[in-house]
Amino acid sequence: MEILPQSFYLREPCALAQDILGTVFHYGEKQAMIVETEAYCKDDPGSHTYGGRTPRNEIMFGPGGYLYLYLIYGIHILMNITADKAGIPGAVLIRAVKPLNFKGRTNGPGLLTKAMGITMDDYGKSLFSNEIHISPRIMNIDEDTIVRTSRIGIYSGKKRLQRYYLKNCPFISRK
């Protein structure tokens, strides 16, 4: 099984958010294709890193290729993949995936973590192990296949068009 190298993640979140669409996320025995993402950058008012380094967002200040997980509304866990080089905070939020070898609802950021069994215990884990990693695209994607819109659920910095998803994909969040 081919694993994407760390160099893939050492780029700005906006670029990574697009290139990671259509790739396959492996978590244990489960596999799912990433179909919807959002980019969170340095100096982004909507990012958790805006306002400085804290224990929670610590991992985003490290190099790309690690999991940034956190609990929202005391109920849901959202999964991010850290991006860019060490010292530059950035991450890509995984909003929706398409299940490849399991069943479950994954059309939302809180749902996909639940469906795949991801917990806070996975905070900070790398994407370079046999257990957890991402493998290259399994489908052909060109510029026209990627839809770019404003982000969902946040209001500061909303004018930034940093939400990306695959056109005509039924597994997208948001009804």
Phi, psi of 114 (to 5 degrees): -70, -45
User: Using the rule CB under 7 A, which residue among 104, 110, 124, 157 binds DNA?
Assistant: 110
- Residue corresponding to tokens 């597994």: 171
User: Using the rule CB under 7 A, which residue among 10, 63, 104, 111 binds DNA?
Assistant: 111
Shortest distance, position 135 Cβ to DNA, whole Å: 22
Write down the number of H helices and E strands in the chain. 2, 8
User: Using the rule CB under 7 A, which residue among 68, 164, 165, 171 binds DNA?
Assistant: 68
What is the DSSP-derived secondary structure letter of residue 104? Answer: S
Give the separation between CA 33 and CA 81, rounded to whole angstroms.
14
- Contact between 96 and 59 under an 8 Å Cβ cutoff? The reply is no
User: Using the rule CB under 7 A, which residue among 14, 108, 127, 160 binds DNA?
Assistant: 108
Residue 74 neighbours by CB distance under 10 Å: 5
Give the separation between CA 98 and CA 25, rounded to whole angstroms.
10
Residue closer to DNA, measured from CB, 83 or 136: 83
User: Using the rule CB under 7 A, which residue among 1, 2, 73, 130 binds DNA?
Assistant: 73
Give, as ranges, the residues between 3 and 62 that touch DNA (CB under 7 A). 38, 40, 46-48, 51, 54-57
Q: Provide the strand spans (E) within the chain.
A: 24-27, 30-40, 67-72, 76-82, 91-99, 132-135, 146-149, 163-166
Tokens of 170: 């039924």
Shortest distance, position 72 Cβ to DNA, whole Å: 5
Give, as ranges, the residues between 129 and 168 that touch DNA (CB under 7 A). 151-154
Residue closer to DNA, measured from CB, 30 or 48: 48
* List of residues contacting DNA (CB under 7 A): 38, 40, 46-48, 51, 54-57, 68, 70-76, 78, 80, 91, 93, 105, 108-111, 151-154, 173
